[in-house]
Structure 1
Amino acid sequence: MPSPLLSKPGAVATESGAVAAHYGEPLPEQRRAAEGAALVDRSDRDVVAVPGPDRLSWLHSLLSQHLERLPDGAGTEALVLSPQGHVEHHVVVAELAGTTWLDTEPGAGADLAGWLDRMRFMLRVEPALVTDAWALLTLVGPRGDDVLTAAGLPVPVETYEVRAADAGWVRRMPAVGDGVPAVDLLVPRAELARWADALLAGGAVLAGVDALAALAVEAHRPRVGADSDHRTIPNETPWLQTAVHLEKGCYRGQETVARVHNLGRPPRRLVLVHLDGMSEQLPAPGTPVTSGTREVGRLGTVVRHHELGVVGLALVKSATLEKGGDLRAGETVVVVDPDDLVVTTDDTVLAARERVRAVRSATIGR
């Protein structure tokens, strides 16, 4: 359903037509988010509500995270894995006043809610897709707390802390970009415009989802589907740290996660890559990454970043990252960020840094 914020001046919709990709100034919107306070309409995300006295122990048995003793006013991240350990869903969790809220990727909610419903058995839980009634906003930037205060809203302090706000809630999220603070707000969909206006009156400016995507790429925060494929396991991504509890009891896919963790070498790794940016059309998620004639990975989200140029996330074979070398995605030169290389020599890192400089120079010189 199209957001009412698409009526704001300059709004250019995403391909789905649900929210704004930007409001006419894609790169300045990123900078405002990184330096001030930007309000991003993410009302296209799906929301699943799980009330019921058995909800936490039940979710604990199904998801990758330790949820059994999640306190009221707390949140976390979790994954739904296949029996083989492949990532099927990523959810961000909020526990508040007798309901566990799960927000997930746009379009994924019906499948997630359907699977949860099939797993209820005789337990006292009532999972339901509630996207029609609830919408997500994200406030990004170092001045975000000032905006919340000016709007009369609570300011959560600790990461994943959840605070009630009118009928909805505010949740502190991990930083994006280079340490840029972020909070999520769950609001009644019928009052989305009112909440947005209150935050804009408090000092925020509008930014599209493209601005948040660029800062998320910089922070190595993947999205299911764009930055993962049917073979992705948590060990290949930062989800192993944010959405998996390695010491909890049995859950679907745990054997794969534990085995690869104990071996210490996943088959691929999610890395930040720099692209030459010579084409106006950015490569699509899923574009193969090649080394010579061999396919060694896949591109995920690719963005034009206001400081880094054209960058993206990519799943690349660990063996390739250890050896280094020239990579391409079609005719596009791809260079792994030196900080993400798995190497044993300083020379390899230095060579990667020189390639990054060359790629950026080519892009800036256009």
Structure 2
Amino acid sequence: MPSVFSALPGAVLDDSGLLHLGSPLVEQRRLAAGEAIAPLGDRAVIAVPGEDRLSWLDSLTSQALTRLDPGVGTELLVLDPQGHVEHAASVVDDGETAWLITDRGDAEGLLAWLRKMRFRLRVDPRAADDEFAVVGGTRSALARVVPATPAGRPLVWIDPWPDVSPGGYGYAAVDPHPGADRDWAEAIVTRDEERRIADAAAAGDLVLAGLTAVDALRVAAWRPRWTTDVDERALPHELDWMRTAVHLDKGCYRGQETVAKVHNLGHPPRRLVALQLDGSDSVLPVHGAAVRVGDESVGTVTSAALHYEEGPIALAIVRRSVAVDAVLTVDTSDGVISAAQEVVVPPDAGRTANIPRMPRLSRRASAQ
């Protein structure tokens, strides 16, 4: 359907939604400060009503959900039998329905899988995009919108990242974590409320930010995302996703044996790193760009962004064997550029993950 935000002055959109309104760096600053909200056209909503919804989702996914309290946000992963990430979703329950917020590219596949796994249980998952949209921002910023309340409780998902959720485990060894001060929430709103938001922005009564700003703040917080950071080999350990999306002490689910084995007895074969990029701020590596040690490709860029304080940054997946002090370079359309590596998942994550906390390169100036 056509976006209600397409007529806003300066609006730049693609198939995923509103990218920016002409000033992505300014939009980042306003979004981080709680002065703007972001229409999340790249999200989709799946409703899972039914008496068995939480125990059913608990049995299928990586997260403990049976005792999830109404209004409490968490997230889940659907894994294949070998423990690889197939689907991901944010979850908030209103006492009658579990609401899943997914990346739009994952929604159709996740819904089809959920419907296939219903058996005779009292659940009825359905797509809810015709009824609802998603907007994001700080919790204070979202006070300017009216969340949907189908069961009398506002549908607002508060991101638990980077806190380690009950039953989770954090591999990132830096202190403080770069996402420690990140305040992020997502509200499910009716389509009428989405139109009101667009009208308020056109009238100058509401400040908006685009998806480019949203993603830059995510990358700076080392927060993984299905659309960009997951491939067919991805394990939750490699992305430090164990901290918020996996409960290590719950019952069995598909892929649980691999999750436990890698965490307790082995090491993930790859690891997530954060990169501070040199070179022109106007040229960023594309998704899948090679990360190299010398002439050898040792990994790929998963996400890249121009941050309003740190400059050009990226997340990348590299081999576990890549030394933490290795001199890295990244391929771009302008040639090879150097990249300062910050360790997100250490090479010894897993069996020997008890490593000391390290200071991080918190600002671009620290890398120079």
Q: TM-score, normalised by structure 2?
A: 0.82
* Cα distance in 2 for residues equivalent to 1:29 and 1:165: 33
| Cα 1:200–1:220 shift into 2, 3 Å | farther
- Code of the aligned partner of 1:266: P
* Cα distance in 2 for residues equivalent to 1:334 and 1:81: 35
- Deviations 1:269-322, CA, capped at 9 Å, x for gaps: 112101223374422211221212322111011111111111011111222144
* Cα distance in 2 for residues equivalent to 1:172 and 1:249: 25
| Cα 1:61–1:200 shift into 2, 3 Å | farther
Which structure's residues are more often helix, by fraction? Answer: 1
* Cα distance in 1 for residues equivalent to 2:13 and 2:191: 18
- Code of the aligned partner of 1:24: G
* Cα distance in 2 for residues equivalent to 1:8 and 1:194: 13
Partner of 1:233: 235
| Cα 1:299–1:272 shift into 2, 3 Å | same
Partner of 1:292: 294
Higher mean displacement: 174-183 or 262-271: 174-183
* Cα distance in 2 for residues equivalent to 1:265 and 1:257: 10
**2:32 is matched with which residue: 34, 38, 44?**
34
* Cα distance in 2 for residues equivalent to 1:228 and 1:289: 17
- Code of the aligned partner of 1:137: V
Provide the alpha-carbon RMSD of the alignment. 3.1
- Deviations 1:40-67, CA, capped at 9 Å, x for gaps: 0003311111001111111101010001
**1:50 is matched with which residue: 43, 48, 51?**
48
- Code of the aligned partner of 2:159: M
Contact kept, 8 Å, 1:217 with 1:312, in 2: the verdict is yes
* Cα distance in 2 for residues equivalent to 1:36 and 1:200: 19
- Code of the aligned partner of 2:95: A
Is 2:7 the partner of 1:7?
yes
Which aligned pairs between 1:178-327 and structure 2 lie closer than 5 A?
179-195=181-197, 204-263=206-265, 265-278=267-280, 280-322=282-324, 324-327=326-329
Partner of 2:127: 129
Partner of 1:111: 109
**Cα offset for 1:30?**
0.9
* Cα distance in 2 for residues equivalent to 1:88 and 1:197: 38
- Code of the aligned partner of 1:113: L
- Code of the aligned partner of 1:49: A
Partner of 1:171: 157
**2:23 is matched with which residue: 25, 47, 64?**
25
* Cα distance in 1 for residues equivalent to 2:73 and 2:180: 22
| Cα 1:152–1:214 shift into 2, 3 Å | closer
* Cα distance in 2 for residues equivalent to 1:288 and 1:148: 38
Is 2:55 the partner of 1:60?
no
Partner of 1:328: 330
| Cα 1:308–1:63 shift into 2, 3 Å | same
State the structure with bigger RCO (CA 8 A, min sep 6), 1 or 2: 2
- Consecutive unaligned residues of structure 2, counting only runs of 5 or more, are 162-177, 349-357
**Cα offset for 1:2?**
3.1
**Cα offset for 1:199?**
8.6
Higher mean displacement: 101-110 or 190-199: 190-199
* Cα distance in 2 for residues equivalent to 1:314 and 1:25: 26
Partner of 1:158: none
Which aligned pairs between 1:87-166 and structure 2 lie closer than 5 A?
87-140=85-138, 144-145=139-140, 147-149=141-143, 151=144
SS of the aligned residue for 1:257 comes to helix
**Cα offset for 1:189?**
1.9
Contact kept, 8 Å, 1:50 with 1:125, in 2: the verdict is yes
- Code of the aligned partner of 1:106: R
| Cα 1:74–1:167 shift into 2, 3 Å | closer
- Code of the aligned partner of 1:33: L
SS of the aligned residue for 1:53 comes to coil
| Cα 1:203–1:177 shift into 2, 3 Å | farther
- Consecutive unaligned residues of structure 1, counting only runs of 5 or more, are 155-161, 361-366
- Code of the aligned partner of 1:263: L
Partner of 1:363: none
SS of the aligned residue for 1:121 comes to coil
Contact kept, 8 Å, 2:328 with 2:340, in 1: the verdict is no
* Cα distance in 1 for residues equivalent to 2:203 and 2:182: 21
| Cα 1:214–1:275 shift into 2, 3 Å | same
